[in-house]
Amino acid sequence: MEQEIYFCTTDDNVKIAYATVGSGPPLVKAANWLNHLEYDWKSPIWRYLFEELARNQHVVRYDERGNGLSDWNVDNISFNAFVDDLESVVDALGLDRFPVLGISQGGPVAIAYAVRHPEKVSHLVLFGSYARGWNKRGGSSETLELRHAEAALIRLGWGQENPAFRQLWTTLFFPDGDPEVTHGFNEMQRVSASPEMASRIFEVLGEIDVVDLLPKLNVPTLVLHCRGDEVVPFEEGRRFASLIPGSRFVPLEGRNHIPLKNEPAFEQLLEEMRRFLGREIVSPFDAGPPAQVKNCPKCGRNYPDISLNFCLEDGTKLAMAAGPIFRAPKSEGQVSTQILPSGNTDETSK
């Protein structure tokens, strides 16, 4: 299973890298702090989750502005710009209706997008997420001072070859991580963003507040949160879920901010998503032969036999059986990529 990486351009002329993998109805993952499409795909933290989700779904991921394979040297780093990045990826792919997965920071971005485009979002899955950034949650003055100190440390120590500073974040995000996970998250921090961009994004996250948007949501929503999460406190997740009309809240046992393959929370997350979205997560050992591919007699596009889509004589697209239509990208096209320790996608070979 291999991902394909593409680029699209936002209205303010920022190049956004996005990747697709798997077959079936689409699932769009909103970006979180921080990402790198190529590195995450090989990471012991993310790769198992992405592979499982892609067993029978066409998973869409992207690097938001300022990090990963997207443009790094960007003037506009703001919450609204992050929502615009998601919007640009969806528009480039021509997606009609789809569920959105928001992990951590991706949650408020997914919510803002769902309020902006209620006709497009079929479901929201929000994990380890929040409605209020770290600077909006109140708490003690000591806690806020600590967060501001962390922002200063990011500016000074991010990307250093010495992993001592990065280890601080790794321990916070993955207190139960093994040496492979520890090394993987340390390295992700080094390659994902410059110190300046990592700090600017961190400051923006602190000011996020989508509480007023929550009552406006009119979409089935599943909220999951690990009880021992130290990055986003469990109580913030519980409060978050209580303000979303009709949402279902599922506590998970665990301390890691992102569940790892070897812990029960990982399997429970997959099972809850499968049940909520009505999609079977297919094991590679249980999967049958590849689905037969047929052509739409009107437009000539290929679609899997399990989800046939045909165009009517007037050009209207009719989706039969499983899920909505997934159209090929209409942006700049596919490119090959390499992991860049610094800079932006200008060095990416096309």
pLDDT, tens only, 331-350: 444 443 333 333 444 444 33
Q: Is the pLDDT of residue 292 over 90?
A: no
* pTM as predicted: 0.80
Nearest CA to 183 among 316, 39, 62, 281? 39
Considering the chain, what percentage of its residues have pLDDT values greater than 90? 63
Q: Predicted confidence band at 50 (pLDDT cuts at 50, 70, 90)?
A: very high
Question: What are the tens digits of pLDDT across the range 201-246?
Answer: 999 999 999 999 999 999 999 999 999 998 999 999 999 999 999 9
Neighbours of 338 (CB within 10 A): 9
Question: What are the tens digits of pLDDT across the range 56-98?
Answer: 999 999 999 999 999 999 999 999 999 999 999 999 999 999 9
**350, burial (CB in 10 Å: exposed 0-12, middle 13-18, buried 19+):** exposed
Who has greater pLDDT, 94 or 293? 94
pLDDT of 274: 95
Q: What is the CATH number of domain 4-287+327-347?
A: 3.40.50.1820
**320, burial (CB in 10 Å: exposed 0-12, middle 13-18, buried 19+):** exposed
Question: What are the tens digits of pLDDT across the range 306-315?
Answer: 233 333 333 3
Question: What are the tens digits of pLDDT across the range 135-146?
Answer: 898 766 777 777
